[in-house]
Amino acid sequence: MSKCEQCIVREFSALKALNKDELLKLADCKTSFTVKKGDIIFEEGDSLDGIFCVKDGVCKLTKLSSNGKDQIVKLVTKGELLGQRSLISEEPTNLGATALEDMQVCFVPKSQVMEFFNVNNKFSLSMMKNVCHDLKEADNVLVNLAQKSVKERLAITLLYLHDTFGVNADESLKIQLSRDEISSIIGTATESCIRLLSDFNKSGWIELSGKKIILKNKKELRKLAE
């Protein structure tokens, strides 16, 4: 059982507000596990009995719409927590979580998190800041979905993927999403997404080879994304 002190999650999440003693407690009660690409971490409506720390890998948070299509609401990457909202609200999850890559995850039981809430105000405040940040992001995405065209949203999404997850040595986006998943982020039909990617490709703004996407002209993409 590894210590939590050096964990990347501690660096970026609300866990940074924990002191040494609390970190020891955390290391003691947590359970580590791996998740394979495509595996479901939890489903929409599940009752969680704790939160997840993402040590490595990326997952998508999705919600099934009544039209039968999944919408990707957020991507969660290493260093972030998963399931806080559900835990704090004491409600079943509103979104499901599925691994986009192989992941390393720790589970921290609710009782321990609640104890931290009760004895460490900084932790509460830090967690609150996290949720507030998520809320701000959700509001921004919401406005984009309401006001921007599919083409603009695709440009925004490509730049987001570039800036958030970085690129490989060949400049291609590190995170690999299927066309279907990209469509599910921007909220459009898969065919429309594929067509627009082709258009971007023909315009020379991006380069496609298989699943690889290289952003060749970020300036033009940014102009679209505004």
Partner DNA sequence: TTTAGAACATGATATTTGTCATCCTTTAGT
Partner DNA sequence: ACTAAAGGATGACAAATATCATGTTCTAAA
**Using CB under 7 A as the criterion, which residues of the chain lie in contact with DNA when the complex forms?**
149-151, 178-180, 187-189, 191-192, 194-195, 197-198, 208, 210-211
- Residue 210: name its binding partner from DNA, a copy of itself, none (Cβ under 5 to 8 Å by kind): DNA
- Residue 144: name its binding partner from DNA, a copy of itself, none (Cβ under 5 to 8 Å by kind): a copy of itself
178: closest CA among 212, 201, 214? 212
Nearer to a copy of itself, 1 or 145 (CB): 145
Least separation in angstroms between residue 210's CB and DNA is: 5
Nearer to a copy of itself, 14 or 173 (CB): 14
**Hey, how many other C-beta atoms are within 10 angstroms of the C-beta on 29?**
16
* Burial of residue 135 (number of CB atoms within 10 Å: 0-12, 13-18, 19+): exposed
Alpha helices by DSSP H, 30-96 = 84-89
Nearer to a copy of itself, 64 or 208 (CB): 64
Nearer to DNA, 84 or 184 (CB): 184
Q: CA-CA distance, 61 to 83, in Å (whole number)?
A: 10
The number of angstroms, rounded, from the C-alpha of 21 to the middle of its chain's C-alpha atoms is 29
